[in-house]
Chain A
Amino acid sequence: QVQLVQSGAEVKKPGASVRVSCKAFGYTFTNFHMHWVRQAPGQGLEWMGVINPRHGGTTYAQQFQGRLSMTTDLSTSIVYMDMSSLRSDDTAVYFCMRDAECSATSCFHDWGLYWGQGTLVTVSS
């Protein structure tokens, strides 16, 4: 069955970088885009960006451009989310979220059916 398994919790100092991974199981990795969504403590969900694993094309939310990078490793079906210049307000749980399936002409709408378990990133001096 489909599963998204994320890497473990991280503690970083302000100004540092972090890498969070999301390993996909149970489906053809290149057939589905992958999103990253974060949630600060006690707050709502915030979309960060999306990657197309087939060719590596990315779209990042405006507020993260310049310090966010998403990449994939096709040999291991892993998506990586790298964020640099961390600040205390980057403390959050980071989730990967699978997109909907698309054909050549249209997409289904069930994006968000599968999520990783979340990875807590704490930024503190």
Chain B
Amino acid sequence: QSMLTQPPSTSGAPGQRVTISCSGSDSNIGTNTVNWFQQLPGSAPKLLIYGDSRRPSGVPDRISGSKSGTSASLAINGLQSEDEATYYCATWDVSLNYPWVIFGGGTQLTVL
């Protein structure tokens, strides 16, 4: 079955830049745009990036997304303590006989 692969964890010091990768395949990232979500403990996910690189209103421009081929990345510049959370990439997959949403396994970001 299709998968989106993310590193389980990453970390950075305040003010630094971190990137989180999301690796997929032709049937998902290679065909459809990628959304990124931030989830704080005990809360619903929050949309950070949609359509590969667009930010919803209210998301600061130090957060950005990109995609190349079957991989996508989320970058956070000027890391802040409030960025400590779990981040998920997601997209649609067309490998089955119906379109379905696939999530990456999540990356836990620790701010040192």
A interface residue numbers (CB < 8 A to B):
35, 37, 44-47, 50, 59, 61-62, 95, 100, 108-113, 115-118
Contacts and interface: CB of A to CB of B under 8 A. Distances in A.
A46 B103 CA distance: 7
Contacts of A112: 35, 37, 45, 47, 50, 90
B112 interface: no
B103 A113 contact: no
B101 A47 contact: yes
24 contacts: A35-B101, A37-B101, A37-B103, A44-B104, A44-B105, A44-B106, A45-B37, A45-B106, A47-B100, A50-B101, A59-B98, A59-B99, A61-B100, A62-B96, A95-B44, A100-B50, A109-B33, A112-B45, A112-B47, A113-B50, A115-B44, A115-B46, A117-B44, A118-B44
Given A95-B44, A113-B56, A115-B46, 7 more contacts: A44-B88, A44-B103, A45-B88, A110-B35, A110-B54, A112-B45, A112-B47
A95 B100 CA distance: 16
B41 to A, nearest CB: 10
The majority secondary structure among interface residues of chain B is strand
A110 B56 contact: yes
Q: Helix, strand, loop or mixed for chain A's interface? A: loop
Nearest to B103: A45
B52 to A, nearest CB: 8
Give the interface size bracket for B toward A: 20 to 34
A24 to B, nearest CB: 15
A111 B35 contact: yes
A113 to B, nearest CB: 5
A43 to B, nearest CB: 8
B38 to A, nearest CB: 11
B51 interface: yes
Nearest to A59: B98
A68 to B, nearest CB: 13
Contacts of B94: none
A74 B9 CA distance: 42
B102 interface: yes
